[in-house]
Amino acid sequence: MRPIRVLVAKPGLDGHDRGAKVVAAALRDAGMEVIYTGLHQTPEMIANAAIQEDVDVVGLSILSGAHMTLFPRVQDLLLEGGRDDILITGGGIIPKEDMEELQRRGIARLFGPGTPTSDLANYIKEWFAAREQNPA
């Protein structure tokens, strides 16, 4: 099976990327191809990079509180770009009720502070294996 391609991004004005770098390294260590876009990415930059890099997963790291705007915007741009097959996941400081609302919108499982990186890696691997067995 080919490696899972993951784009890790920090949308918005949040200037803290230690967690995103830890996640990127953990996913790389788990055998995934990881592209880290760096700080201060717009949703347009993230969606364009995801489409150009032909990724399977977009992981958004948000600590700024703008998750209810930024997650849906990235999702909308990927849909407009014909990439409804990309898993959108992420984490950061996101209240439980906001996580539930984003999941109702079609965003995948979100992870809070302190979650073992192995939980995220296993979640992505299970999603990818299921998708490969049942392509749309």
Read off the pLDDT of residues 9-32 as tens digits, 9 standing for 90 and up: 999 888 888 999 999 999 999 999
User: In the prediction, which pLDDT does 43 show?
Assistant: 97
Q: What is the mean pLDDT of the chain?
A: 95
Read off the pLDDT of residues 35-63 as tens digits, 9 standing for 90 and up: 999 999 999 999 999 999 999 999 999 99
Give DSSP secondary structure letters for the chain. Answer: -PPPEEEEE-BTT----HHHHHHHHHHHHTT-EEEE--SSB-HHHHHHHHHHTT-SEEEEEE-SS-HHHHHHHHHHHHHHTT-TTSEEEEEES--HHHHHHHHHTT---EE-TT--HHHHHHHHHHHHHHHHHS--
In the chain, what are the domains? 5-129 (3.40.50.280)
